[in-house]
Structure formats: structure tokens, C-alpha cells
Chains A and B, each alone.
Chain A
Amino acid sequence: MAMTVEDVRAALGARVLVGREHLDREVRSACGSDMMSDVLAFSKDHSVLLTGLVNPQVVRTAEMLDIVCIIFIRGKKADEKLLEMARERDLVVLETGHRMFTACGLLYQAGLRGGAV
């Protein structure tokens, strides 16, 4: 099932912090972790990354993997420097108050999958 970043945003009731102009981008799979090396082990096209970790390495990890959208969970606040980095890399950044389990569950229910390992 083809989904867009906007579908992902709507399923989570998330707020757009960066990349409002890219909400029509296609999303095919998702990955959720606070450990960036676990995320780096996962390389799929058109992915979103859910994480509770907020530091510049999240943006770099997303950059290396060509991730289309970062979702900060549990209402974690990203600072302006991080958001600027994301802007420079044409990423979408969303923020949701949901915890990891719930956020992943909502996206799974909406039809998103993790992709084969």
C-alpha cells in the first residue's frame, strides 16, 4: 500500500517541524529505535525513522540512509540547530506526543510495515 508522509503524520496526529513542502513524498517502510547503529543496520528505500533520541547524529543517520522523514516521539524537543541541519538535507521532521510502542502501533495499523530484514 502506498502511503505518503502526510498519511503518516495524520495517523499520529503529529506536528510538522520541518519540510511542510515535502508531505506528499512516498513512504514504504518504517524503523523505530533510539540506537542509531540499529537504524543503520536497516536500509530500505522511502523509510521513516521513529526515535526518542534528539541529537545531530539522528539527522546524519537519516542522511546516510536516505530516510525521508524523522519522527521524534514522546514529545521530545529538537533544538533549532538540529532542525536547520534537517532543513539543509531536505528532510521532513515530525513531532508526536505518543510513546514508541503506540506510535509504531498506529503506523502499523495504518498499513506501514518494517520491511524484510
Chain B
Amino acid sequence: MEDAIILKYGISPDDFTRAGEASSDVKSKLKQMGVSPEAVRKVAIAMYEGEINMVIHAKGGEITVQITPDRIIMELADVGPGIPDVELAMKAGYSTAPDEIRSLGFGAGMGLPNMKKYTDEMKIDTTVGVGTTITMVVKL
């Protein structure tokens, strides 16, 4: 696509303290580009929730962010366990995160609902035992 800027991040597994570094980097880059604060915040929150999910559930993965003049497309791809029941996973409050994650402040079952709430489009492509790719779009 013309004028598209592409950012790629490898998300390392089992490093909860570093989770969010990619989202933080995207946020500051978008700010520098002069993207509206409202759009920057939507992208940052949605991507951060996704990034946390990749660390908690999927042993890391890869995030690609495509910035075009009229939209920001985030693709979060992992080779984790997959989501057996997407409809259930989308329910606010439903979580399969272990207690240790809850004690770190996550696993309230709000990750996927928040990602949907802050983006204009969200698609979940998942196969149990193969992995999950979530594509989210924020329109500018």
C-alpha cells in the first residue's frame, strides 16, 4: 500500500515485566507522527491488551503494525494453544488465565472485550493447537 509504514515486533514469552514494550514504542511513534491523541490511545490500549495476552497465553509471537494515511492495522500472530470457543472468550469476565497472572493485575476477562471496544474492526483467526492471529483496525 502506498505511504504505509510497517513496524514489526517480536514478543518474547514468559517475560511479564517487559510485556507492553512494543505497545509503548508504537504509542510514542504514532504521537511523533502527529496522529490524534484519541486514536493513539485506542491503538495503545488495544495493542497492549493483545500483547499481554500473547505473553500470558501464547508464549509470545509477532506483532505487525501498518500505518496508512487513513487507518492503523495491527496484526498479532502467535503459535500458541488457540482459542477453543471464541464467543465464550469474548464474554466480559471470562478468563482462563492462571491465578498467578491475576495476582499481577491481569486475567479479569476484559482483554478481548477491551480490544473490541477500542478498535473499529477486529477479526480473530484461531485454530486449536496451531495458533491465533488477531487483526485489529483503528480508523483515523
Contacts and interface: CB of A to CB of B under 8 A. Distances in A.
A41 B114 contact: yes
Nearest to B19: A57
Contacts of A58: 105
Interface string B22-63: 011001000000000100010011001100100000000000
Interface string A22-49: 0000000000001111101101000000
B117 interface: yes
Interface of B: 16-17, 19-20, 23-24, 27, 37, 41, 44-45, 48-49, 52, 102, 104-111, 113-114, 117-118
A56 interface: yes
A28 B16 CA distance: 31
A20 interface: no
A25 to B, nearest CB: 15
A56 B17 contact: yes
Interface residues of A, number: 20
Given A55-B104, A57-B19, A66 B37 contact: yes
Given A36-B106, A55-B17, A57-B19, A41 B117 contact: yes
Interface SS of chain B: helix
B110 A43 contact: no
Contacts of B52: 57
Contacts of A65: 41, 45
A40 B37 contact: no
Interface string A50-86: 0101011110110111100000000000000000000
Contacts of B107: 37
A56 to B, nearest CB: 5
A106 B107 CA distance: 29
